[in-house]
């Protein structure tokens, strides 16, 4: 585990070694199959669930397993994504979805909706933020939730929700949905509500799974329709103002883990290139031994290591109270910056790898094309590079 340097504790090393061994043995050999069927993905996910990864990050009181540190968590994201970032996404989604409820100590949500995830049976979670009119609208801090079109109204002891979501991972197959909505758009952040909705309630329905470039079966994306969906009032995360803050913190965690996902893809590609270019020759020498190509490989490695050091450094700030809450502009700016940079690095690494490998880099046999297709959505989701840069700037000065 030298890769994570002095950031990682001895306990975290053991976990990361387990995850890496699992990825080497159970994911790397079936990468092509994962791209071809949901069944292949579920087979791998079931093994990860049995290994305890579904419990990872969920509250121990309910049978979950405590995260050692934010540093450990993002390194786990990198290790899983080195195998397949769609599977990494599905495995870490329960923590992402229920993280806000754990921080809010919402017992009803934790007992009724989260506790089934603390088991050795596969369960799927879905965090539904994006709306048809634009994913960035709900996430943009300058819009303060005012552009959200999904509306929740309190009727007695129940929330009644109307609206729709587009693209969330796990849509249609998940047992629990975290729906970002507003009680009144004119209230801004005070109106923002995060409401947990169990699958099967009347009025909740789904579109067909989207046909995508990457993460084709490992992350299932579809429309979510909410037509007078009713849930108990306790299924709202916390309350006016608090939901916004907790949502912003979840977004910041999501951006940080996305940096780990992107570097997991880049690391996998670097390993492929180093192997391939050892066995391909021109002018009597392995491709990687020519100074021209060695310099290209060095640039890829340097970029990966600097992006990793960046995200680990931000994660270490998440671990210490003195840097504030992850949802506040300082850490949000850092997490967004780490994601933007990691994705730019992953893009450069995939492009260079294809150049170094010639036509073979373009074939399914060597998997570089898979990582290129998969990583691209990591760059786009959760606000993309543009909103990410806006938030990185907002870590330094306010933008109204």
Specify the 3-state DSSP secondary structure of 94: helix
User: Which 274-293 residues touch ligand FAD, going by CB under 6 A?
Assistant: none
| Residue 230 to residue 112: CA distance in whole angstroms | 16
129 lies in the binding site for ligand FAD (CB under 6 A): yes
Cβ distance to ligand FAD smaller for residue 48 or 180: 180
168, 174, 176, 178 alpha-carbon torsion, rounded to 10°: 0
CB-side neighbour CA atoms (13 Å) of 333: 14
CB of 175 to ligand FAD, least distance (A): 15
Length of the chain: 400
Cα–Cα distances in angstroms (integers) from residue 116 to residues 39, 64, 89, 175, in the given order: 22, 10, 19, 10
Cα–Cα distances in angstroms (integers) from residue 172 to residues 128, 198, 200, 224, in the given order: 11, 11, 10, 8
**Contact (Cβ atoms closer than 8 angstroms) between residue 226 and residue 204:** yes
Q: Which two tokens stand for residue 252?
A: 């910041």
Name which position in 263, 382, 391, 392 contacts ligand FAD (CB under 6 A): 382
Cβ distance to ligand FAD smaller for residue 129 or 249: 129
CB of 109 to ligand FAD, least distance (A): 18
| Residue 18 to residue 21: CA distance in whole angstroms | 5
Name which position in 128, 173, 204, 256 contacts ligand FAD (CB under 6 A): 128
User: Which 212-271 residues touch ligand FAD, going by CB under 6 A?
Assistant: 212, 215, 219, 221
Binding mask 136-155 for ligand FAD (x = CB under 6 A): x---x---------------
| Residue range at the interface with ligand FAD (CB under 6 A); choices 30-38, 106-114, 126-134, 187-195 | 126-134
CB of 127 to ligand FAD, least distance (A): 5
In the complex, which residues of this chain contact ligand FAD (CB under 6 A)? Answer: 127-130, 134-136, 140, 167-169, 212, 215, 219, 221, 377, 380-384, 386-387, 390
């Amino acid at each position: 585990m030298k890769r994570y340097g002095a950031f990682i504790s001895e306990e975290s090393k053991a976990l990361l070694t387990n995850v890496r061994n699992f990825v080497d043995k159970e994911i790397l050999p079936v990468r092509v199959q994962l791209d071809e069927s949901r069944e292949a993905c579920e087979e791998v996910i079931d093994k990860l669930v049995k290994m305890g990864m579904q419990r990872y990050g969920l509250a121990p009181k309910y049978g979950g397993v405590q995260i050692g540190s934010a540093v450990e968590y993002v390194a786990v994201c990198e290790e899983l994504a080195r195998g397949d970032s769609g599977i990494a996404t599905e495995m870490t989604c329960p923590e992402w979805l229920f993280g806000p409820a754990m921080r809010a100590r919402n017992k009803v949500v934790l007992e009724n909706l989260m506790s089934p995830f603390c088991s050795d049976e596969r369960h799927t979670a879905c965090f539904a933020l994006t709306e048809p009119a634009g994913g960035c609208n709900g996430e943009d801090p300058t819009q303060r939730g005012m552009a959200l079109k999904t509306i929740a109204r309190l009727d007695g002891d129940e929330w009644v929700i109307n609206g729709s979501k587009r693209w969330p991972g796990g849509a249609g197959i998940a047992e629990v949905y975290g729906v970002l909505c507003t009680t009144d758009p004119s209230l801004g952040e005070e109106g923002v509500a995060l409401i947990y909705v169990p699958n099967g309630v009347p009025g909740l329905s789904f579109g067909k799974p989207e046909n995508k470039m990457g993460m084709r079966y490992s992350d299932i994306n579809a429309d979510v329709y909410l037509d007078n969906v009713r849930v108990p009032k306790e299924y709202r995360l916390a309350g006016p103002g608090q939901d916004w803050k907790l949502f912003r913190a979840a977004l910041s965690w999501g951006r940080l883990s996305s940096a780990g996902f992107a570097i997991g893809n880049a690391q996998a590609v670097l390993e492929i290139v180093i192997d391939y270019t050892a066995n391909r020759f021109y002018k009597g020498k392995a491709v990687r031994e020519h100074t021209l190509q060695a310099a290209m490989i060095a640039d890829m490695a340097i970029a990966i290591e600097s992006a990793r050091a960046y995200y680990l450094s931000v994660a270490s700030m998440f671990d210490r109270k003195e840097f504030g809450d992850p949802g506040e502009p300082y850490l949000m700016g850092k997490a967004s910056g780490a994601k933007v940079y990691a994705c730019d690095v992953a893009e450069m690494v995939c492009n260079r790898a294809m150049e170094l490998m010639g036509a073979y880099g373009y074939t399914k046999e060597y998997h570089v094309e898979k990582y290129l297709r998969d990583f691209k959505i990591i760059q786009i989701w959760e606000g993309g590079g543009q909103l990410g840069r806006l938030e990185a700037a907002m870590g330094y000065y306010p933008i109204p």
